[in-house]
Structure 1
């Protein structure tokens, strides 16, 4: 075995071999793959091999479709046979909420160029003659679905990589990984050590073991998943074409023809996590004993839906390990705090996602960032709260809900509460409903007195029990005042002799003056938005950078990996020291004035400035800014004082009508102001030009990261622009990734949708074709299968001159 390579990939399943293949295709041929046993010996070899393109996530749909297209041509390209059957699939819906979901996913697929269809029960029967139609509302047709032999496609990827010069070492387990003084990695094996510049952890359900070798915990739980293969079914023996793959999400199983028999794979309620005490050292090409009692109900449901299933005996049962992250999405991207170490593992659906995963991780390595913004798969989306109990609890919950409807405001309970502020119990006693954001519990809305404390789920605003409560919260914040406990803001202190010059090169706009705030954006080399910070310049010429709770490790890495190596800049993460209370509304100055001696008048404390003020026994950093667009302050309070400061604000506010409000109200209020959300409205696929953030850029600066890309984009013409749309919707607002139409042309994509309770209109924030981005342009937005009239509006939609926050 050679002693050096540019890239070492650990793991020889479909994902590792896909990464190897894609790196080789992109010209990186000094690449070595290490596999502890034989290729495919982990979860790959026993996978069912289904290849859906369907997904509730925009980018997961993209990379699953990429996989299916790759597999269509791979056999011929690398001259290796692959059994790949594109049969199409039918997904069944037995209720209207499921049909709403199908309509939305169909719209997403068509935007990506995939011709999904909605089917009536009779149309489903035409395509699947053995189907019983009791309790059916309709269904969805995915023409690209099918199945593939997992081992064959993996071997094809491996052959393609070898043919291009990449190297594979089988039966070569990794026993250790260490960082060398020159910045390279040493990967140890029984066959010797190999040094490399870059390591890719593609070790599947052993991904956490590899992460532990570099001192990290990667939240992975291994679940037992069973599917059964029947003996021959007489009705299938004489068919000229195979049946479409059938998925019954409401009863949680898939059913697929396999030769003359059927494969049935349920996701059962008795979800079973395995290997709680660690993975056996030599577990490869192995299965567990079957446990069909867990599946009895699902087998009965499937037999009732497709009676020919009952006519066949069981030929074999596959019960094998599948890795799960807390949200069921894999880890693809940089490891936190480690340069040139990437994770690409924990795939619950690795066969259909393997092609796209290899493409994405190769682009990270070769180009610095992938084509698609894959933040939803970034390993750093989970931080220190995601321990083994958390991931196991979430994996069980997720497995049980694998086919559940993806409601937009579902706040599942497993793994909670993980992180809470001292105000949490106070709000809970007041009837707060909570959601977890970056691990932190935040109030979403407050149950009015006398109303049952439960949360309805629906795609439709008109069908949930919290709409009126949120509307009242919005009204009170706009007319009086509200307070919100916003735990978890990410905070970094940047200082040093080189801090000012370095930050100026990193942001695309201007740095603030002393005591002032600015909203600033850091870009990638391709010009896309990587980070959004509120920056405060302190009197000592240090800077406080504040960003979203979810970005804690992402933003810390971005700062640390780009800072000068000469020691002129230091970065300190101070997130855990502080909580934040948002006090906003026309009465907020009078309320805060009762409990501090600081002058809060405009001349002394102007908008977009910050001061340290005393409240009770605490010194509080008060920042005159907020995410709802009202007169108000963010009060950044040392965590040990947060509860007491909250009580003082609450007591002072009672004669002014102060209320608690939640995240749902904040979202409605920020939509009216057209405030963007990081990784919803903003991402690295969109530049500040596309995001209509021109006022936050300074192209006259000598240099900043991403400037050349922006100048190129300006020369070539900005193809899309971010605009607010006012939609004439009826009881339902535009879900994330709804399509925007100009006649028959699909010309845009919604990134945030909701109801503006102050203006009384449905709002969609969207990226649309630049020539249509003029206020007043008439368009349509597709919501749950129906198109509604919409008009481009001028931002902001409420208080256009920003008089209220300046008041």
Structure 2
């Protein structure tokens, strides 16, 4: 068949994900879609996938994508007549330790919030569900009755047939050799059979996605790893069995046609394809490595003794692609307009493909998906993460983390030390324990002076209970509340927006009024057209035609892309990421003014009010001080050029009284939660209406329109005020001082699940765990009615009474910040 010369969208890759994207684009009315597969459909990773279909995932969005996949695949079987092998067998997860059992129990609680059937089962019950399984040594187990398995190849063929039936063109044996773009926008592709002009390109090339990205100048950080499983010969006593996961033994089991497939996510994986994926790699496997798989097999023989007398029919080793953070890559590339990515599925491609295809198709057709895609958005990735050595080292860990204990605050151990603050060495000397975010090494907590004196090394000791740094976080938290604390916030994103139209551009993008006098700072969300929160930032007016947008470290690329996408082509406005140009030291606490006055000659009294910025002299240099607060206390952020950061650090430290304490990000997080401050990506995101998030105070509906029009989302804000709220973000404090909140714990209102905790931490000043979470409510329900209900939070199957509030539990009037 001759390839078309023109299309609305070209999808590169004929695996299950690419076929899903083509199918959903056709469903949404894009009939001139062309899918190109370099060899044959499913020939890369899809064909050797295990086909497991769990419904419960770590987040609500991922869970909804998995649930949609179940619905879609069953529907496809009826639509196309292709047997996809859908079998609802349920699944079991075993815990061999008390820590793992706590994790599983917390997942059962999360399942209630997400609407997924799940329950804890006794060892005796598990033995009856899975005859022959050794259960005498297990700590506990959970049962998920709705989980299923499918045939990956037939799912792909069914999606391909349905896409063709919907008008899409799907071609095998066509390789994309170049991707064309002009003025930062896609114009077409070149193939081994000629050019195709198009408006959009979707990179769904699986293991080849990084190479395809390079054709377009787009970073797609993923790397292949070897993935092992064996298939036994038929075993007479095996009947229809549920899927089984034993993460403490790194293994999963699937029964099919009387055989057992035993697969592994071993702690130390084997990266593959360091020099690129071979050109002719198609329906191929990698060399066997019995020695690597042997530890898994030994544990499996003890766990399921029937395997001892079963022959091995197949020892399989096939490559799959993994990303630096174990989440797949989805969405429009920040570097290139209309270049979309759907790749890096970390061994969950079959269960996720249906939902991912739906989400990306909505993104392309409607401008954004209905579900929140923040955690999956490729714009979260940093440019350096395409580095081959970095990826090779990191994915050796991320494969194993799929079955590792998912402890709260767990840090990656590989490929560390890439991005460092100019104050990194000074903080390390003072006992900082570093965590990593977006490649940045950030001080999360500090050793005490006594621990430093005896030579103790800062390191995490993970647990679901109070971890080894809990007491240090408490000390740092109290320093913020009662004295003076210093933080290195250099990793926070800094975006300069400048030009004669900078004000008009930001007035259109920001919900708050940012047409400020020079030296003023505004807190503002950026909204989408539905009133959802796309960004949560502060905007400081540095000069007449220059603004500084300060944003979280993890979202700076995403926010840069958002500003650029919403800036009209004719606007005279330049956007630049200046994060690495300035270090930031936060000095905060009730004694912050007295402390800074030792180093700053300028007055820090009423002439330097909250929400303003001024230049001040420290030592032999000039820095820009912002009087703002994310901890809920009096404080200043000191912005200093990187070359002078050490000098400012030394000047402050020389003047520091003994009660001044360097503090880490864990303490900052616990302080912001006591104050009820939202965290983007957890408490607010694109699906959360700004009014339901309790951020109406930062929306200026009455601000004047500019030549570029009203601010994005204004109509949605007005409409929501008229129709009423259907859920509200509330703050909770447990009455019991012992339990810990992290996220995803169900919120029960008058004994009914009404939401879940979006972020939690321990409020050391308030004396109990604190959490934020959305609670469903009636459109005409008053705050009094909402607060009159009885609230409980479920943690690992146990309920705890909670105090609920719509105002910050700590300093609700904000007097301490403005002192």
Q: TM-score, normalised by structure 1?
A: 0.97
Change (3 A) 1:317 1:647: same
> How far, CA to CA, are the matches of 1:212 and 1:296 in structure 2?
38
* Residue 369 (1) aligns with residue 368 (2): yes
**Would the aligned equivalents of 1:88 and 1:145 in 2 still touch at CA under 8 Å?**
yes
For residue 630 of structure 1, the aligned residue among 615, 629, 633 is: 633
Counterpart of 1:300 in structure 2 is 298
For residue 499 of structure 1, the aligned residue among 499, 502, 506 is: 502
Counterpart of 1:558 in structure 2 is 562
Change (3 A) 1:469 1:88: same
> How far, CA to CA, are the matches of 2:158 and 2:723 in structure 1?
40
* Residue 314 (1) aligns with residue 318 (2): no
> How far, CA to CA, are the matches of 1:28 and 1:744 in structure 2?
46
Counterpart of 2:669 in structure 1 is 667
Q: Which moved more, 1:360-369 or 1:497-506?
A: 497-506
Counterpart of 1:408 in structure 2 is 408
* Residue 709 (1) aligns with residue 716 (2): yes
> How far, CA to CA, are the matches of 2:797 and 2:644 in structure 1?
50
> How far, CA to CA, are the matches of 1:247 and 1:28 in structure 2?
40
Counterpart of 1:156 in structure 2 is 158
* Residue 621 (1) aligns with residue 624 (2): yes
Q: Which moved more, 1:566-575 or 1:341-350?
A: 566-575
> How far, CA to CA, are the matches of 1:46 and 1:246 in structure 2?
19
Unaligned runs of 5+ in 1: none
* Residue 756 (1) aligns with residue 739 (2): no
Counterpart of 2:434 in structure 1 is 434
**Would the aligned equivalents of 2:228 and 2:318 in 1 still touch at CA under 8 Å?**
yes
What secondary structure sits across from 1:338 in the alignment? coil
* Residue 510 (1) aligns with residue 508 (2): no
List per-residue Cα deviations over 1:709-730 (Å, max 9, x = no partner): 2222233221011111121245
Shift of 1:86: 1.3
Q: Which moved more, 1:700-709 or 1:479-488?
A: 700-709
List per-residue Cα deviations over 1:647-698 (Å, max 9, x = no partner): 211221225x111111111111111111111111110110111101111112
Counterpart of 2:484 in structure 1 is 481
> How far, CA to CA, are the matches of 1:409 and 1:772 in structure 2?
37
List per-residue Cα deviations over 1:757-786 (Å, max 9, x = no partner): 112122111111234854454211111211
Q: How does 1:313-392 map to 2 (within 5 A)?
A: 313-348=311-346, 349-386=348-385, 387-392=387-392
**Would the aligned equivalents of 1:489 and 1:579 in 2 still touch at CA under 8 Å?**
no
Counterpart of 1:791 in structure 2 is 803
Shift of 1:144: 2.2
* Residue 593 (1) aligns with residue 605 (2): no
Counterpart of 2:791 in structure 1 is 779
Counterpart of 2:123 in structure 1 is 121
Change (3 A) 1:729 1:71: farther
> How far, CA to CA, are the matches of 1:183 and 1:572 in structure 2?
19
* Residue 110 (1) aligns with residue 112 (2): yes
Q: How does 1:42-81 map to 2 (within 5 A)?
A: 42-81=44-83
> How far, CA to CA, are the matches of 1:146 and 1:505 in structure 2?
47
**Would the aligned equivalents of 2:129 and 2:242 in 1 still touch at CA under 8 Å?**
yes
What secondary structure sits across from 2:384 in the alignment? coil
Counterpart of 1:540 in structure 2 is 544
> How far, CA to CA, are the matches of 2:137 and 2:380 in structure 1?
39
What secondary structure sits across from 1:385 in the alignment? helix
Counterpart of 1:420 in structure 2 is 420
What secondary structure sits across from 1:488 in the alignment? coil
Change (3 A) 1:262 1:430: same
Q: Which moved more, 1:437-446 or 1:163-172?
A: 437-446
> How far, CA to CA, are the matches of 1:160 and 1:710 in structure 2?
39
**Would the aligned equivalents of 1:528 and 1:686 in 2 still touch at CA under 8 Å?**
yes
* Residue 460 (1) aligns with residue 462 (2): no
Q: Which moved more, 1:338-347 or 1:692-701?
A: 692-701
> How far, CA to CA, are the matches of 2:734 and 2:634 in structure 1?
28
> How far, CA to CA, are the matches of 1:234 and 1:107 in structure 2?
38
**Would the aligned equivalents of 2:229 and 2:317 in 1 still touch at CA under 8 Å?**
yes
What secondary structure sits across from 2:648 in the alignment? helix
Q: Which moved more, 1:658-667 or 1:98-107?
A: 98-107
Shift of 1:486: 1.3
> How far, CA to CA, are the matches of 2:486 and 2:161 in structure 1?
60
What secondary structure sits across from 1:538 in the alignment? strand
Counterpart of 1:277 in structure 2 is 275
> How far, CA to CA, are the matches of 2:249 and 2:59 in structure 1?
22
What secondary structure sits across from 2:176 in the alignment? coil
List per-residue Cα deviations over 1:126-156 (Å, max 9, x = no partner): 1112111132111111112222111100000
Q: What's the C-alpha RMSD, in Å, of the aligned pairs?
A: 1.6
Counterpart of 1:192 in structure 2 is 194
> How far, CA to CA, are the matches of 2:632 and 2:141 in structure 1?
43
Shift of 1:744: 3.3
> How far, CA to CA, are the matches of 2:505 and 2:182 in structure 1?
28
For residue 580 of structure 2, the aligned residue among 567, 576, 592 is: 576
What secondary structure sits across from 2:813 in the alignment? coil
Counterpart of 1:652 in structure 2 is 655
Counterpart of 1:471 in structure 2 is 474
> How far, CA to CA, are the matches of 1:538 and 1:268 in structure 2?
52
Shift of 1:632: 1.0
> How far, CA to CA, are the matches of 2:787 and 2:585 in structure 1?
36
Unaligned runs of 5+ in 2: none
> How far, CA to CA, are the matches of 1:695 and 1:200 in structure 2?
39
Shift of 1:631: 1.1
